[in-house]
Amino acid sequence: MQIDTEDLLERFCRYVRFDTRSDPHAGMTPSSPGQWDLLRLLEAELRALGAEDVELTPGGYVLATIPATTHRAGVPTLAWLAHVDTATELPGGAKPIVHRAYDGRPIVLPDDPTQVLTVETIPHLRESIGEDIITASGTTLLGADDKAGVAAIVAATRYLLRHPEIPHGRIRVCFNPDEEIGHGLRTLDLKQLDADFGYTLDSEARGELDDETFSADAAIVEIRGVAAHPGWAKDVMVNALRLAARFTAALPLSRSPERTADREGFIHPNEIRGNSERATVRLILRDFELEGLAELRRLVQQAAAAVQAAEPGSVVEVAFHEQYRNMRYWLDRDPRPVDYALEAIGRTGLTPFRHRIRGGTDGSQLTARGLLTPNLFCGMHQVHSQREWVSLQDMSRATQMLIHLARVWEERAPASPVA
């Protein structure tokens, strides 16, 4: 199987130049204009490749169909999904740099020389010596999360449409916005997607399949103090910002992301906004088990109650919102999506391995909604940082994996021909 890696590289570099950083405060989906720009480009590219049923929906989903080529009946329709937005922490709009035949020496990013990639600190980089490494220039995200997944899906679409002799079932392509702020697939109409099983391409190491994620809640703590002129505030002012600081300090540090690993859950305050009269603390809560998530909620409520009790003049209110749930709860009931993906990874010549994510994917929401959707590798590394990078060869391997995956599902279908 010969993937056109130069076409793949050209597309990827084109995609990452779009600044598609999502905005949690926008109040709309897609939450940023750059996402619309990239979605329109992808719509046009899929049409140019000859995909069918191509559309960009009002909600910001690009949908398309790769028609079935199989003569077998009962082959399920697969969905391949990737998100176009990038994380909120850093700007997008990368200036991609291609380090051809990487020689193992430190990669110093030119726009910020303090940003350095080395094989001593990044084991996966050592594994990629001799390959073509793509980075940003040092002041932005690269955007491989998840434009590496987008590029691999487009490349696999291009390959299958050019090789109708390869038997496979119907495949639906979906590119979506706002995964990084948890809104990506909330409004996707599963009837419109019209698939039986799904796969997101939003994971890292070559050969990786993710079939377990955190369960996730968001918490919003609203604190109302008492306003007063600071010159005459004695025994009058209740400073909401100080209470917000007291609340975050009351959360157990042992349950923070900085102090947890493996299967341990955490509470992560990720934003404080306000003034002396009103303040809002936003947090995310993560645990692999629902019982652990309930315990984290209790700790948040306990800290809020302690602040309220210490300052009777204040009002402290806590609200929780479900974000996603561990996909393992549903994937355990039907092993086919995982088993077939492991076989497809093996057919690329890689050693497949299962992994649990200390995070979530769009597949977490889709799986809970009834579309079983494990997560597959696309080669991205050091995500959410200026040092983000990807190997072109790993994106090519992810493309091959998708093509093999389509064939595995076709081979496992009933032997009876289409009437």
Catalytic residues: 85, 179
- Rounded (10°) CA dihedral 349, 352, 357, 362: 60
Return d(Cα 108, Cα 110) in angstroms, integer: 6
Cα–Cα dist 301/110, whole Å: 46
Give me 328's structure tokens: 């393992």
Q: How far is 4 from 176, CA to CA, in rounded Å?
A: 25
Q: Judging by beta carbons within 10 Å of its beta carbon (0-12, 13-18, 19+), is residue 123 exposed, middle or buried?
A: exposed
C-beta atoms surrounding 264 within 10 Å: 15
> CA dist 298 to 137, 251, 292, 319, Å?
43, 11, 10, 12
Per the rule left: phi > 0, alpha: psi between -120 and 50, beta: everything else, 270 is alpha
Helix axes 392-411, 5-16, angle to 10 degrees: 110
| Euclidean distance between CA atoms 338 and 342, whole angstroms | 6
Paired residues of 390 in beta bridges: 134, 380
Contact 307, 251 (CB under 8 A): no
What is the rounded CA–CA span in Å between residue 115 and residue 123?
Answer: 17
Interatomic CA distance for residues 403 and 154, integer angstroms: 12
Structure tokens at 153: 């899906």
- Enclosing H/E stretch for 307: helix 290-310
